[in-house]
Amino acid sequence: MSGVFLWLWDYVNKKWVKAPAAVLTIRKTGIGQVGTAEAHTLYWISMNPSAANSMLELTDATAGGSGVVFDMYHATRDHMHMVLNPPMFFTNGIYIETLTSFTSVMFGYI
Protein backbone atom coordinates (compact mmCIF):
# COMPACT_ATOMS: atom_id res chain seq x y z
CA MET A 1 0.00 0.00 0.00
CA SER A 2 1.45 3.37 -0.95
CA GLY A 3 0.50 6.88 0.03
CA VAL A 4 0.27 8.97 3.17
CA PHE A 5 -2.29 8.06 5.78
CA LEU A 6 -3.44 9.73 8.98
CA TRP A 7 -4.01 7.35 11.86
CA LEU A 8 -5.89 8.02 15.11
CA TRP A 9 -5.46 6.06 18.34
CA ASP A 10 -8.71 4.38 19.44
CA TYR A 11 -8.16 4.28 23.20
CA VAL A 12 -11.38 2.34 23.83
CA ASN A 13 -10.41 -0.60 21.61
CA LYS A 14 -6.64 -0.07 22.02
CA LYS A 15 -5.81 0.04 18.31
CA TRP A 16 -4.89 2.46 15.52
CA VAL A 17 -7.65 3.34 13.04
CA LYS A 18 -7.29 5.13 9.72
CA ALA A 19 -8.80 8.62 9.76
CA PRO A 20 -11.45 9.21 7.09
CA ALA A 21 -10.66 11.38 4.09
CA ALA A 22 -14.30 12.48 3.92
CA VAL A 23 -17.46 12.22 5.99
CA LEU A 24 -21.13 11.94 5.14
CA THR A 25 -23.03 15.17 5.72
CA ILE A 26 -26.68 15.62 6.49
CA ARG A 27 -28.76 18.69 7.31
CA LYS A 28 -31.59 18.22 9.81
CA THR A 29 -34.37 20.66 10.71
CA GLY A 30 -36.30 18.61 13.26
CA ILE A 31 -36.08 15.80 15.78
CA GLY A 32 -35.44 12.23 14.63
CA GLN A 33 -32.81 9.89 13.26
CA VAL A 34 -29.62 11.32 11.75
CA GLY A 35 -28.76 9.10 8.80
CA THR A 36 -29.37 5.37 9.10
CA ALA A 37 -30.13 3.58 12.37
CA GLU A 38 -26.74 1.93 12.89
CA ALA A 39 -23.34 2.60 14.46
CA HIS A 40 -21.79 5.94 13.45
CA THR A 41 -18.82 8.07 14.37
CA LEU A 42 -19.62 11.79 14.66
CA TYR A 43 -16.79 14.12 13.60
CA TRP A 44 -18.42 17.55 13.59
CA ILE A 45 -21.67 19.46 14.14
CA SER A 46 -22.59 22.81 12.59
CA MET A 47 -25.48 24.57 14.30
CA ASN A 48 -27.57 27.48 12.99
CA PRO A 49 -29.85 28.83 15.75
CA SER A 50 -33.02 30.63 14.70
CA ALA A 51 -33.21 32.49 18.02
CA ALA A 52 -31.40 32.92 21.31
CA ASN A 53 -31.77 30.22 23.96
CA SER A 54 -31.57 27.33 21.50
CA MET A 55 -30.98 23.77 22.67
CA LEU A 56 -29.80 20.53 21.01
CA GLU A 57 -29.81 17.09 22.67
CA LEU A 58 -28.54 13.89 21.03
CA THR A 59 -29.03 10.29 22.13
CA ASP A 60 -27.39 7.02 21.07
CA ALA A 61 -30.67 5.49 19.92
CA THR A 62 -33.07 4.76 17.08
CA ALA A 63 -36.12 6.36 18.71
CA GLY A 64 -36.96 9.03 21.27
CA GLY A 65 -36.84 8.59 25.02
CA SER A 66 -33.24 7.46 25.57
CA GLY A 67 -30.64 9.09 27.80
CA VAL A 68 -28.95 12.21 26.43
CA VAL A 69 -25.27 11.68 25.51
CA PHE A 70 -24.59 15.14 24.00
CA ASP A 71 -26.27 18.48 24.65
CA MET A 72 -25.61 22.04 23.58
CA TYR A 73 -27.18 25.32 24.66
CA HIS A 74 -26.79 28.71 22.92
CA ALA A 75 -27.66 31.92 24.73
CA THR A 76 -27.32 33.94 21.51
CA ARG A 77 -28.25 33.48 17.86
CA ASP A 78 -24.64 32.88 16.77
CA HIS A 79 -23.74 30.06 14.39
CA MET A 80 -21.39 27.46 15.87
CA HIS A 81 -19.26 24.81 14.19
CA MET A 82 -17.87 22.21 16.58
CA VAL A 83 -15.21 19.65 15.66
CA LEU A 84 -15.31 16.67 18.00
CA ASN A 85 -11.74 15.66 18.77
CA PRO A 86 -11.70 12.81 19.41
CA PRO A 87 -14.80 11.92 17.40
CA MET A 88 -17.85 10.61 19.25
CA PHE A 89 -18.98 7.02 18.67
CA PHE A 90 -22.68 6.10 18.58
CA THR A 91 -23.47 2.37 18.84
CA ASN A 92 -27.15 2.39 17.82
CA GLY A 93 -27.50 5.59 15.81
CA ILE A 94 -27.46 9.35 16.20
CA TYR A 95 -30.90 10.56 17.27
CA ILE A 96 -31.95 14.20 17.79
CA GLU A 97 -34.00 14.12 20.99
CA THR A 98 -34.47 17.89 21.36
CA LEU A 99 -34.09 20.63 18.77
CA THR A 100 -35.36 23.97 20.07
CA SER A 101 -34.97 27.28 18.21
CA PHE A 102 -32.72 25.99 15.43
CA THR A 103 -33.03 26.67 11.71
CA SER A 104 -30.86 23.62 11.03
CA VAL A 105 -28.10 21.40 12.34
CA MET A 106 -25.56 19.77 10.01
CA PHE A 107 -23.68 16.61 10.94
CA GLY A 108 -20.41 15.21 9.57
CA TYR A 109 -20.21 11.47 10.33
CA ILE A 110 -19.21 8.06 9.03
Query: Per DSSP, what are the bridge partners of residue 55?
Result: 73, 100
Domain extents in the chain = 22-109
pLDDT tens digits, residue range 47-85? 999 999 999 999 999 999 999 999 999 899 999 999 998
pLDDT tens digits, residue range 83-99? 998 899 999 999 999 99
| CATH pick for 22-109 out of 2.60.40, 1.10.3470, 1.10.8, 2.60.120 | 2.60.120
pLDDT tens digits, residue range 19-35? 888 899 999 999 999 99
- Give SS3 for 76: coil
Q: What residue type is assigned to position 8 of the chain?
A: L
Q: How many C-beta atoms surround the C-beta of residue 77 within 10 A? A: 14
pLDDT at position 1 is 52
- Give SS3 for 42: strand
Judge contact between 34 and 94, C-beta under 8 A. yes
